[in-house]
Amino acid sequence: MTHQASQRPGALAQPRSAKSSAMLARIGSALRHFLGNPLAALGLAVILLLVFVAAFAPWIATHDPITQNLGNALKPPSAANWFGTDELGRDIYSRIVYGSRVTLYIVSLVTVVVGPIGLAVGVVSGYFGGLTDAILMRITDIFLSVPGLVLTLAFVAALGPGLGNAVIAIALTAWPPIARLARAETMMIRSADYIAAVQLQGASSLRIITRHVVPMCILSVIVRLTLNMATIILTAAGLGFLGLGAQPPTPEWGVMTSTGREYMLDHWWLVTMPGLAILLVSLSFNLFGDGLRDILDPRNE
């Protein structure tokens, strides 16, 4: 008995070690597969660069993004002002650098709000079905029946212009696709044999949802959220362009494009520089999302 007891720790440690090794091997394989996709790797590199620029904006920017200098207005790109200056003499490069903070703020806040709401609605609807499913999905269909940008504009018009209200409006219109995806995943999961076994053991619905259903849905939701980030950026820039999102003098890329359109025929850099920033970041999130989908979607294995 003493000899057997002394061997138990080693017997338990071996399976744990094997499980850890298998997990590390799987993570390494997924990472190699992701980095083997050059477009996805490029998208990740640009996103990491965006985060770096936003974090160290005060040190990367060459000028104050808000201070006006009318004597230096509408200057073309030069050694002193890398991306030129706007109609008020503000350095466009510095405003784009600080604008990365606004972009990340919008994307992060909307994602944090939309992900849990969409996941909760979809999982509850798909697991319980019946009247619960009918009510939740009809509400979801109401939101999906109107184009997202039009509905966002309606919410912003009701709430009033401003960065905070723009975030709320985008979040209110971005959760239905997440809910639909989570519902479809849950409806497949709830018919699995292991779910039936857990139910026979007397587990509550809350425990089954939180311990067995949500973990199986979370990867698909993460991929969809990543792909949605490009749409969030474009929507936020569109609201800023229309004067319904961030307000001047906030260095937001959509606002910069809007204020520069009056001068763009003779001063191309006013709209080109912030427009390229919007294009590059949006495209990078799409490429990164495609790469994540390739490695996280089990149907691709």
Tens place of pLDDT per residue across the chain (301 aa) = 444 444 454 544 455 565 566 556 666 666 777 777 888 889 999 999 999 999 999 999 999 999 888 888 899 999 988 999 999 999 999 999 999 999 999 999 999 999 999 999 999 999 998 899 999 999 999 998 888 888 898 899 888 888 899 999 999 999 999 999 999 999 998 888 888 888 888 888 888 888 888 888 888 898 889 889 999 999 999 999 988 888 888 899 999 999 988 888 888 999 999 999 999 999 999 999 888 888 876 455 4
Q: How many domains, in total, are found in the chain?
A: 2
Domain that holds residue 218: 40-300
The DSSP bridge partners found for residue 91 are: 85
* 23/56 same-domain check: no
* 14/47 same-domain check: no
* 48/165 same-domain check: yes
Nearest C-alpha neighbor of 179 from the set 140, 225, 223: 140
* 17/109 same-domain check: no
* 60/185 same-domain check: yes
* 157/132 same-domain check: yes
pTM of the prediction?
0.84
DSSP string, 245-298: SS-TTS--HHHHHHHHGGGTTT-THHHHHHHHHHHHHHHHHHHHHHHHHHHH-G
* 76/13 same-domain check: no
* 56/112 same-domain check: yes
* 15/65 same-domain check: no
CA 214/CA 237 separation, integer angstroms: 32
Domain containing 82 — which CATH number? 1.10.3720.10
* 207/268 same-domain check: yes
* 206/272 same-domain check: yes
Nearest C-alpha neighbor of 172 from the set 239, 84, 217: 239
CA 289/CA 239 separation, integer angstroms: 24
* 29/149 same-domain check: no
